[in-house]
Amino acid sequence: MAKYFAPLPAPGDIVWCLFPEVVGQPGPKPRPALVLAVAPEFKAITVAYGTSQKTDRVYPTEFVIDPDDANFSQTGLSVRTKFDMNNQVKIPFNSDWVAKAPSSQPNLPLPKLGVLPANYVKAARDAAGKRPLAEKP
């Protein structure tokens, strides 16, 4: 049985999750995800897909967090990572979908990996603003 985590994360937190490849099923590989919204009544979060693959190709709905950038350490990430604001899902905040990341910072409530530094907020908003209108929440 899945264990629900508390407290819920906040928008802007980065968590380690099994981002689904098939709707309604946890994905096969854990990866970072950016929390965009929280639904306390459902103990659920809406997250954007994160990957360390192909970070040299960045599309309009994506933004990259680089280890050489200011405040990178706040993210909890260990490598250059891009987030795709066009690839979002709502998932339960429980042990079937999220887990402790391998590089979790001490003193953070599990399964939080880190936070999106303030200097990335504009990049995230710009990427989210480029989502097709039919897909905007």
Question: Does any domain span residue 110?
Answer: yes
Has residue 5 been placed in a domain? no
The boundaries of the domain holding residue 64 are: 13-132
Is 4 part of any domain? no
Q: How many domains does the chain have?
A: 1
Q: Is 1 within the bounds of a domain?
A: no
DSSP symbols for the chain: -PPBPSS---TTEEEEE---SBTTB--SS-EEEEEEEEEGGGTEEEEEEEESTTTT---TTEEEE-TTSTTGGGG--SS-EEEEEEEEEEEESBTTTEE--TTPPTTSPTTEEEE--GGGHHHHHHHHHTS-GGG--
**Are 123 and 30 contacting, i.e. CB atoms less than 8 angstroms apart?**
no
What CATH number did the domain enclosing 50 receive?
A: 2.30.30.110
pLDDT tens per residue, range 10-43: 999 999 999 998 888 999 988 999 999 999 999 9
pLDDT tens digits, one per residue of 67-103: 999 899 999 999 999 999 999 999 999 999 998 776 6
